[in-house]
């Protein structure tokens, strides 16, 4: 035999061996089923063109769930509800005016790590609140302000944390609006659409499909998963089955082939999702959760009993919790407050499947594992009352002496600070209050099994004109100021776009005296008239441009004092807004453009 023939023979044998090896590695076990039930040929468009971005995605959680670390480190806790403000930023980045609830205090807090004022090893329990105080003079309101932060600490070691097994049902929106581009508004007509020179973006359907595949990649063999799809009807796409007995590769391909069609019936989708839990036994061994992915949050009609949010609240009482995931810049956040107040619920927004996949790698086990329920803080001192709560979706439940939080989820701790690990209280001091008067703070809560706990501590304000106990409360005050300014700007800026507005019919209130007031005290409130909303172009009036300039100056000073680069996230948006002046504000009564800036720096 010639040398060239031998080479060709060896190459042929190598190819045969590699092909055989490939066939062995992709062979599906006989007990792993492709149990997909959704009839794609009858209800979907041609699926020959589908995204293959995640075609080779594999589970990143094949290791045991218990994590190990070089040195023992405790996890932290964070409030349920909104877990990001991605939709707020995505709208601004694409030239749109965000909706009011696209930015929340708890969502913005979760973008940061906070020193909670507790030392390493001090907490031995499931939940250990720690308290820090601060006083400052607010240049905008010309008032002395008192703040108290509640640090959300846990004694659970990171290496000991282990989530429960999951009964997971994913409810996916496949309605016609999901075929829209992620960075555009589905209901825009001529005159509203913002032209964007960026290259073509993926559709919301593609991003949702890829995000779902990434999520399923986090499951373990002893988890159970089912999938429901909905447009104007609801379809059981996959029954509840152990992940270890499911042909994951086949299910992945089915998901990536999904196309959008039809109308939108949220409550039908959720109801079908609840029905899948009839196929399993609800026990304390499992965390039962519905993940609801949609591009357009429903209108207020869905708050009724038997509708989406009514069913979500009822399900939480049965031990079935809900995670809402908003897809696209036109996701309607204005009902997130109702989602957030549901026990065991949380909310995320997707701005890219790649970033969402990274988030899941770090957050999935935490986002599906509530640890503390029905947290209530009582302020036992008549000399002070709670004026505002920042960082809790139940802020309106503060009655002057009581603060309530429905749910605390686990959160990352880097050894010195906790992600989103604070709730900030603004206190009002009565005229008769003594400077050295102690505050008695009592906390009660339950764990996931209903066992009750309580804790009582004392804290006092220092005899100083201005101070911060630590960088954690100082950062929380700065971030809450930023959110208040953004919310008040959005209330004013959206007054002439889309939303019906209840005007107070009074002379313009001085902006500097309300720009950092907690928004519910604002005299003007937008009201969602329909979920089929068009876009509003990004608009910054001359008055607010000047406000942003002044606020940015103070923000940069505080940022320098804190020496915290993570605060650049807010600074970047402030820079964008100060460079964006589209029109002057309008006087509602006269209909004439005015410059309503009244702050003297």
CATH code, domain carrying 285:
3.40.50.410
Work out the percent of the chain whose per-residue pLDDT is above 90. 46
Considering only residues 19 and 2, tell me which one the structure prediction assigns the higher pLDDT.
2
Does residue 139 form part of some domain? yes
Instruction: Evaluate if residue 195 carries a pLDDT over 50.
Output: no
Mean of pLDDT values over 539-553: 89
Tokens of 360: 């899941």
Identify whether residues 288 and 172 lie together within a single domain.
yes
Q: What is the rounded CA–CA span in Å between residue 200 and residue 16?
A: 42
> pLDDT tier at 291 (50, 70, 90 boundaries)?
very high
pLDDT score at 474:
98
Rounded to two decimals, the pTM is 0.82
Which of 320, 351, 371 finishes a domain?
A: 371
Residue length of the chain: 601
Does residue 223 form part of some domain? yes
pLDDT score at 268:
93
DSSP string, 543-598: HHHHHHHHHHHHHHHHHHHHT-GGGHHHHHHHHHHHT------B-TTT--B-----
Average pLDDT of the chain is: 80
Instruction: Evaluate if residue 277 carries a pLDDT over 80.
Output: yes
Instruction: Evaluate if residue 228 carries a pLDDT over 90.
Output: yes
Mean of pLDDT values over 154-158: 93
Of 438, 467, 478, 440, give the one whose Cα is nearest residue 456: 440
Least confident span in 22-26, 46-50, 408-412, 538-542: 46-50
Mean of pLDDT values over 488-507: 60
Does residue 390 form part of some domain? no
Note every long-range contact of 454-462, with CB atoms under 8 Å and residues 24 or more positions apart, other chains counting: 455/127, 455/128, 455/129, 457/129, 457/131, 459/131, 459/133, 459/148, 460/133, 460/436, 461/133, 461/135, 461/146, 461/435, 461/437, 462/133, 462/135
Considering only residues 181 and 496, tell me which one the structure prediction assigns the higher pLDDT.
181
pLDDT score at 19:
47
Work out the percent of the chain whose per-residue pLDDT is above 70. 73
pLDDT score at 196:
45
Angle at the Cα of 433 from the Cα atoms of 430 and 434, rounded to 5 degrees: 165
Which of 371, 396, 427 finishes a domain?
A: 371
pLDDT score at 33:
86
Instruction: Evaluate if residue 487 carries a pLDDT over 80.
Output: yes
Considering only residues 526 and 201, tell me which one the structure prediction assigns the higher pLDDT.
201
The SS3 assignment for 21 reads: helix
Give exposure, 301-336, as e/b (b: 16+ Cβ within 10 Å).
ebeeeebbbbbbbebbeebbbbbbbbbbbbbbbbbb
**Cβ neighbours around 2 below 10 Å, total:** 7
Identify whether residues 359 and 493 lie together within a single domain.
no
Instruction: Evaluate if residue 259 carries a pLDDT over 90.
Output: yes
Asked if residue 417 lies in contact with residue 431, where contact means CB atoms within 8 angstroms, the answer is no
Instruction: Evaluate if residue 482 carries a pLDDT over 50.
Output: yes
Does residue 556 form part of some domain? yes
Does residue 10 form part of some domain? no
pLDDT score at 400:
84
> pLDDT tier at 37 (50, 70, 90 boundaries)?
confident
Instruction: Evaluate if residue 27 carries a pLDDT over 90.
Output: no
Q: What is the rounded CA–CA span in Å between residue 296 and residue 135?
A: 41
Mean of pLDDT values over 406-411: 96
Per-residue pLDDT of 332-385, as tens digits, reads 666 666 777 889 999 998 878 888 888 888 899 999 999 999 999 998 877 889
Q: Are strands 113-114 and 81-82 parallel, antiparallel or unpaired?
A: unpaired
Please give the tally of structural domains in the chain.
2
Instruction: Evaluate if residue 184 carries a pLDDT over 50.
Output: yes
Does residue 219 form part of some domain? yes
Strands (E), 44-119: 74-79, 81-82, 113-114
> pLDDT tier at 179 (50, 70, 90 boundaries)?
confident
Instruction: Evaluate if residue 83 carries a pLDDT over 50.
Output: yes
Identify whether residues 361 and 482 lie together within a single domain.
no
Q: Which domain holds residue 149?
A: 36-110+118-179+202-371
pLDDT score at 372:
96
Least confident span in 52-56, 204-208, 341-345, 360-364: 52-56
Instruction: Evaluate if residue 452 carries a pLDDT over 90.
Output: yes
Q: What is the DSSP letter of 264?
A: -
Mean of pLDDT values over 221-230: 96
Least confident span in 104-118, 126-140, 200-214, 366-380: 200-214
Of 100, 490, 524, 539, give the one whose Cα is nearest residue 297: 100
Any residues with CB less than 8 A from the CB of 321 and at least 6 apart, and which?
A: 287, 288, 289, 290, 315, 343, 344, 345, 370
Which of 371, 392, 411 finishes a domain?
A: 371
Identify whether residues 351 and 480 lie together within a single domain.
no
Written in H, E and C, the secondary structure of 472-489 is HHHHHHHHHHHHHHHHHH
Does residue 222 form part of some domain? yes
Mean of pLDDT values over 281-310: 82
Q: What is the rounded CA–CA span in Å between residue 388 and residue 104?
A: 14
Does residue 418 form part of some domain? no
Mean of pLDDT values over 491-499: 70
pLDDT score at 531:
47
Cα–Cα distances in Å, from 19 out to 169, 202, 552?
37, 34, 61
DSSP string, 427-467: EEE-TT--TT-EEEEEEEEEETT--EEEEEEEEE--SSSSE
Least confident span in 407-411, 461-465, 522-526: 522-526
Asked if residue 229 lies in contact with residue 169, where contact means CB atoms within 8 angstroms, the answer is no
DSSP string, 490-512: HHHHGGGSSSEEE---SPPPPGG
Asked if residue 172 lies in contact with residue 208, where contact means CB atoms within 8 angstroms, the answer is yes
pLDDT score at 340:
76
Cα–Cα distances in Å, from 502 out to 299, 524, 549?
18, 6, 29
């Amino acid at each position: 035999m010639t040398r060239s023939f031998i080479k060709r023979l060896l190459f042929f044998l190598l190819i045969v061996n590699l092909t055989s090896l490939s066939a062995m590695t992709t062979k599906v076990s006989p007990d792993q089923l492709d149990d997909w039930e959704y009839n794609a040929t009858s209800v979907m468009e041609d699926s020959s063109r589908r995204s293959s971005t995640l075609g080779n995605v594999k589970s990143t959680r094949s290791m045991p769930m218990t994590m190990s670390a070089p040195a023992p480190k405790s996890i932290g806790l964070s409030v349920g509800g909104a877990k990001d403000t991605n939709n707020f930023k995505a709208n601004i980045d694409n030239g749109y005016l965000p909706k009011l609830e696209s930015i929340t205090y708890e969502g913005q807090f979760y973008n940061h790590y906070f020193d909670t004022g507790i030392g390493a090893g001090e907490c031995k329990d499931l939940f250990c609140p720690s308290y820090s105080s601060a006083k400052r003079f607010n240049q905008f309101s010309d008032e002395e302000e008192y703040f108290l932060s509640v640090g959300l600490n846990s004694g659970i070691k990171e290496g000991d944390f282990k989530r429960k097994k999951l009964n997971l049902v994913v409810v996916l929106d496949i309605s016609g609006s999901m075929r829209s581009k992620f960075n555009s508004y589905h209901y825009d007509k001529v005159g509203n659409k913002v032209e964007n020179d960026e290259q073509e973006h993926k559709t919301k359907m593609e991003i949702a499909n890829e995000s779902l595949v990434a999520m399923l990649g986090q499951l373990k063999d002893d988890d159970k998963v089912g999938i429901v799809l909905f447009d104007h009807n609801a379809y059981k796409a996959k029954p509840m089955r152990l992940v270890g007995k499911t042909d994951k590769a086949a299910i992945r391909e089915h998901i990536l082939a999904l196309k959008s069609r039809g109308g939108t019936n949220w409550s039908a989708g959720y109801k079908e999702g609840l029905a899948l839990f009839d196929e399993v036994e609800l026990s304390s061994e499992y965390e039962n959760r519905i993940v609801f992915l949609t591009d357009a949050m429903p209108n207020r009609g869905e708050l009724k009993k038997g509708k989406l949010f009514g069913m979500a609240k009822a399900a939480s009482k049965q031990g079935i919790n809900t995670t809402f995931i908003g897809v696209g810049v036109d996701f309607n956040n204005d009902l997130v407050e109702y989602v957030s107040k549901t026990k065991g619920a949380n909310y995320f927004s997707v701005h890219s499947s790649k970033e969402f996949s990274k988030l899941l790698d770090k957050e999935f086990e935490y986002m599906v594992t509530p640890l503390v329920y029905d947290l209530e803080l009582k302020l036992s001192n008549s000399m002070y009352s709670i004026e505002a709560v920042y960082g809790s979706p139940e802020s309106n439940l503060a009655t002057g002496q009581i603060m309530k939080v429905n749910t605390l989820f686990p959160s990352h701790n880097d050894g010195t600070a906790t992600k989103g690990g604070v709730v900030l209280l603004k206190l009002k001091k009565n005229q008769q209050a003594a400077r050295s008067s102690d505050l008695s703070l009592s906390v009660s809560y339950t764990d996931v099994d209903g066992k009750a706990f309580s804790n009582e501590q004392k804290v006092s304000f220092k005899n100083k004109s201005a101070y911060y106990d630590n960088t954690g409360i100082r950062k929380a005050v700065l971030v809450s100021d930023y959110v208040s300014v953004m919310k008040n700007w959005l209330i004013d800026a959206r007054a002439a776009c889309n939303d019906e507005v209840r005007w107070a019919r009074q002379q313009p209130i001085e902006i500097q005296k309300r720009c950092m007031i907690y928004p519910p005290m604002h005299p003007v409130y937008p009201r969602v008239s329909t979920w089929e909303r068009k876009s509003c172009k990004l608009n910054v009036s001359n008055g607010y441009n000047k406000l942003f300039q002044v606020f940015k100056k103070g923000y940069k000073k505080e940022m320098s004092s804190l020496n915290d680069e993570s605060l650049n996230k807010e600074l970047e948006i402030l820079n964008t807004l100060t460079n964006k002046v589209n029109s002057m504000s309008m006087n509602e009564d006269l209909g004439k453009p005015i410059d309503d800036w009244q702050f003297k720096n």
